Chain A
Amino acid sequence: MKLTKRIISGNEAIAIGAYKGNATFASGYPGTPSSEILDFFKEFDGVVAQWASNEKAGFEAALGASLAGARSFATMKHVGLNVAADPLMTSAYTGINAGFVVVCADDPGMHSSQNEQDNRYYARFAKIPLIEPSDSFEAIGFMQYAFIVSEQFDLPVLFRSTTRISHSLGVVQYDPRTLDNKKELKLDKNFQKYVMIPGNAIRRHKELLEKFENLKQFSNETPINKIENGSLNVGIIANGISYAYAKEILPDAHFFKVGFSYPMPIEKIKEFAKNLDKVIVVEELEPFMEEELKIAGLNIEGKKYFPQDGEFSLDIVEDGLCRAGFIKEKKSTVVFESVELPKRPPALCPGCPHRPVFDILHSHKNIFITGDIGCYTLGSLPPLSAMHTTVCMGASLSMGVGSSKIEKNEKIVSVIGDSTFFHTGIQPLIDAYVNKANMTIIILDNRITAMTGGQPDPSSGFNLNSKPFEPVNIAKFAKAIGIERVFEVDQYDYEATKEIIDREIETEGLSVIIALRPCVLMPKKIKDTPLVVTDKCIGCKRCLRIACPSIDFKNNVAIIDETTCTGCEVCQKVCPVEGAIVVKEGK
């Protein structure tokens, strides 16, 4: 047996673990920090990996594959499980056929998310097992184990990663072959198990409660809930990355490392805590484990010493251990606060096709712009400042529908990207038509899920496995619904785009404008001849208002960085002086 030794991310480790665990089907929707898992998984032989339009569809596809006899898993970011919460709750009743694992990656600290909800509560809510790795190496092993647990209890298993696990690299050594435990399962036709009409569901709920009692015992016995003895007479209960931080700071404490965190291993923790002077819980975000322990009558504190928001760091854990009296004083001090850093505000990329749309919207005073989730959320920041709401995927359209029924002075403009439109924008588009909403919908169709790294979507014309298809045509789709005012435009044609947007905002009723220019970075990097500023520049700063990172202002004139300029010419289009910005000659 030859072991493979590599340095890999937690996300790659999850994909490897799934393959080793004989998973042959996976689906999901991209979302930081979970997006790379399917990209890695699709590379294995004999597997099916595919993107779904949203997390609910991905979850259900994987559940369907499980019923058809394949070990399967679904991937999503934390908020994606909100979208897939419907099938999650009821698949806990139906159970599974072949092993089925729901992989969700939480984002403590909100590196790239709209909230930092703690998805461990979903395991409690659905009464299903919860498994959490603390590094890449564990992710490989725990993922294989998750499929076994799923089949043993006939339940979906929630596998929770976090940004720090998914995106950190670690050295792993593993046998690249799959486990020798592949079962040949057939499609499971079982009316009482899978048709959740009340008569069946009532029975399945009782069975779920019985399984849950067995799970409680299992949690005390599983080897991934383990005690590591130390020389100090204090104990630390920790999961995920919190374990790594606490163990690094205080290696001599007794540790209860929780890998199977729901239901909690209550009896085993009682044994662990019995002879120790003091025991605390170290867990990122919510007091999930702490609450379970307190319900069980154990007086173990956690959030008394550690914050309930934000991402943990060695500094934060060291602080908490200090407050708990586990260490006398902090060894380190934070000397440099990030506020002193040179500011580099995030901005749309040079050449980004979203830029002209927001520049045009910025010039309108009496409009209310409901926005959505994607690169284009950056259109909300100054100087573009052309977005008034961003809540969750698809909410631009649905919130716009509601606002348009109440607000009579300001026209409602909803801005959404293609991937987000296919995710959860389709249904509110139908609602806008059915309910005769007075709103202008702008769909920024850049043919890719850009924000998460360029995953293909129904508008791309190729799928996760690079297989081509005729792209879904959003204009035809909107017309098929029955919407009459549907227009397509290339945003690099600034004047034409402005004319259509201005006209539709002034027009009573529902209209859909599809902005067709593809992403400048993905799937192909687009770079045309750069532009340069001539001595005709009057220093009016109009071009700075489009917030292009390639444009700077020095010595009272604009300058363009030729290495980053993509030649989109939008700055030239907004410049009031003829000949002040020109395409560079000699190319």
Chain B
Amino acid sequence: MKIVIIGVGGMGAISLSKIIAEASVAKGLYVKSTENHGMAKKGGLVEIYMKINEGLSPYIQQGSADFAIVLETAYSDYAKAFLKKSGILIELSNTERDDIVDRFGDVKFANSFILGRFIKSQTLFSSDDMENILKNFKNADKNISAFKMGVV
């Protein structure tokens, strides 16, 4: 499975990739991941590639990803370029984002929601796989609730 995650610095793209990576390791899957560091911290684009159970390098070519997860909608078109024909774009509408801020008090829980949406769209991971990782997080309850909202 090839996953591309696109966001901007400070939005939690790296944390999101780490959750998926941890879940992969817990399941005994082979995973490689790479990100663009450096200037990202100063508000630039963060681009993360993840390959699970395939490939030797972590690099993902455009037109080949199974999933593109977009945390900043301004980059949706760019993210789509990574998808293969049957690939799936995972993103959040502004209404959904506002709803999460209202409900949980912080935009950072949007990533758990988006993780849920990703889980719903594939068969490699189950909801339990992700909940097992999320339960060790700070604000585990809120993160798991937001995640479950995404799965539904």
Contacts and interface: CB of A to CB of B under 8 A. Distances in A.
Interface of A: 5-7, 32-33, 111-112, 135, 163-164, 167-171, 241, 244-245, 247-248, 313-315, 318, 332-336, 338, 340-342, 344, 346-349, 375, 378, 549
B21 A7 contact: yes
Contacts of A338: 78
Contacts of A341: 45, 75, 78
Contacts of B78: 336, 338, 340-341
A248 B62 contact: no
Interface stretch (B36-44, B89-97, B116-124): B36-44
Chain A CB count within 10 A is highest, among B34, B60, B77, for: B34
Contacts, number: 102
24 contacts: A7-B24, A163-B37, A164-B34, A169-B32, A169-B33, A170-B32, A170-B58, A171-B32, A241-B57, A245-B57, A318-B61, A332-B62, A332-B64, A333-B62, A333-B63, A334-B62, A336-B81, A338-B78, A341-B75, A342-B75, A344-B43, A346-B44, A347-B42, A375-B42
A549 B43 contact: yes
B45 to A, nearest CB: 6
B35 interface: yes
A100 to B, nearest CB: 28
B57 A169 contact: no
Nearest to B58: A168
B32 A112 contact: no
B63 A248 contact: no
A258 to B, nearest CB: 15
Nearest to A564: B10
Given A170-B32, A342-B75, A335 B63 contact: yes
B37 A248 contact: no
B43 A168 contact: no
A314 B82 CA distance: 13
Contacts of B35: 167
B55 interface: yes
A205 B43 CA distance: 51
B116 to A, nearest CB: 22
Given A169-B34, A336-B62, A346-B39, A244 B57 contact: yes
A459 B91 CA distance: 44
B65 to A, nearest CB: 11
A348 B22 contact: no
B37 A167 contact: yes
B137 interface: no
Contacts of B63: 332-333, 335
A17 B8 CA distance: 33
Query: Closest 8 interchain pairs by CB?
Result: A336-B81, A112-B38, A244-B57, A168-B34, A332-B61, A244-B56, A169-B33, A346-B42
Interface of B: 8, 21-22, 24-25, 30-39, 42-45, 55-64, 74-75, 77-78, 81
Given A111-B38, A344-B45, A7 B22 contact: yes
Given A7-B31, A245-B59, 17 more contacts: A6-B25, A7-B24, A7-B33, A32-B37, A111-B38, A168-B33, A168-B34, A168-B58, A170-B31, A170-B33, A248-B56, A315-B61, A332-B61, A335-B81, A336-B62, A340-B77, A346-B39
Contacts of A170: 31-33, 58
A278 B36 CA distance: 35
Contacts of B21: 7, 169
A167 B42 contact: no
Contact of B31 (A163, A167, A171): A171
Contacts of A375: 42
A248 B43 contact: no
B49 to A, nearest CB: 9
A312 to B, nearest CB: 9
A378 B21 CA distance: 33
A32 B37 CA distance: 9
B42 A349 contact: yes
Contact of A112 (B8, B33, B37): B37
B95 to A, nearest CB: 19
A347 B64 CA distance: 33
Contacts of A315: 61-62
B36 A111 contact: yes
A429 B74 CA distance: 47
A494 B142 CA distance: 42
Contacts of A32: 37-38
Contacts of A171: 24-25, 30-32
B39 A112 contact: yes
B57 A347 contact: no
Contacts of A378: 42
Chain B CB count within 10 A is highest, among A169, A334, A348, A549, for: A169
Contacts of A336: 62, 77-78, 81
Contacts of B31: 7, 169-171
A547 B20 CA distance: 36
A247 B39 CA distance: 30
B15 to A, nearest CB: 13
Nearest to A35: B37
B17 to A, nearest CB: 8
A248 B49 CA distance: 15
Contacts of A314: 57, 59-61
Contacts of B43: 344, 346-347, 549
Contact of B25 (A5, A163, A164, A244): A5
A7 B25 contact: yes
A340 B128 CA distance: 39
Chain A CB count within 10 A is highest, among B8, B31, B32, B35, for: B32
A33 B36 CA distance: 11
